[in-house]
Structure 1
Amino acid sequence: MRFTATLYLKAAVSFIGLSVLALCILWLPWQAGELALTYPEFSYLQYPLLIGLYMTALPFFFALYQAWKLLIAIDRNQAFSELAVKRLVLIKYCAVIIFVIYLAGEILIISQNAGQPGIVLLGLIIMFYSIVISIFAALLQNLLKNALELKEENELTV
């Protein structure tokens, strides 16, 4: 049962990673060019925003890698380990980094009066999900730390 659940989660992580990679390689450059042609008054923002989006891809893929490694640890019955706690901390930090980069991008877009409602809303949604993931990872981290302490306590009493 556990192997099947982690298999589904690994498939989901793989699908998400490949989808975002395809978007980064194929869709983002094309969309940035199209937006620069459609709104020539904001074409100077094309590359700064594209670079910002690619900067968020780095912590995103790093967090996916950490999630993958966490699933491998679960498969090996090592879910309650210090390494699992470290991976959750790294996922939390990646989510915070993504939030900060998108916050800077939102400030840039709004300060340049380029804040189309859809673009600003999309950035806000991504920022919201980043914070939710960060809080959830912090919660899991605390639960895992408590479970580790209880596990060590039980091992000492036996």
Structure 2
Amino acid sequence: MAYATLDELKGRLDWTLDEDELRIAAGALEDASDLAASYGRDWPEATAPRLVKTLVLKASSRYMRNPNGYTQSRAGDETLAWSEAHGRDAGTVYFTREEIRLLAELGGRKPTLASAPVAAWESKVRPGTGGLVPVDYSGDRFPLFSDDRGPW
């Protein structure tokens, strides 16, 4: 399953791919599509948002242009350098943080904050307090369930 075709990827590259590069490009498209599904959601190929295809093509073409993840290369003294910015992803198909955020939003995975009520085992609300205990610094009451012996 790939969200983009090999012909679409070839259209983004400025050279003609040989047989080995075609095989690598097909693998890059599959890897990028798998990552897109894991960061976003597993869309059916026919109904995937257009931006998913764009991001898959962008990650695949980035990999095809620089498969080893070099950030610096010199011909004179054979100097090569890798960046720590992408860490373990250097030399692989990867999405940037912004691309991951976009995929998550497209997949309906927006980061949210939620709260859950928590109570001690077999605790009950004390009569008259409604489960509220005093807070020393402000005089307000804080919801906390306790036993009959004390507020804590």
Higher RCO (CA-CA < 8 Å; seq separation 6+): 1
Name the TM-score, length of structure 2 as normaliser. Answer: 0.31
Answer with 1 or 2: which has the greater Rg: 2
Q: 1 or 2, which has the higher helix percentage?
A: 1
Q: 1 or 2, which has the higher strand percentage?
A: 2
Name the TM-score, length of structure 1 as normaliser. Answer: 0.30
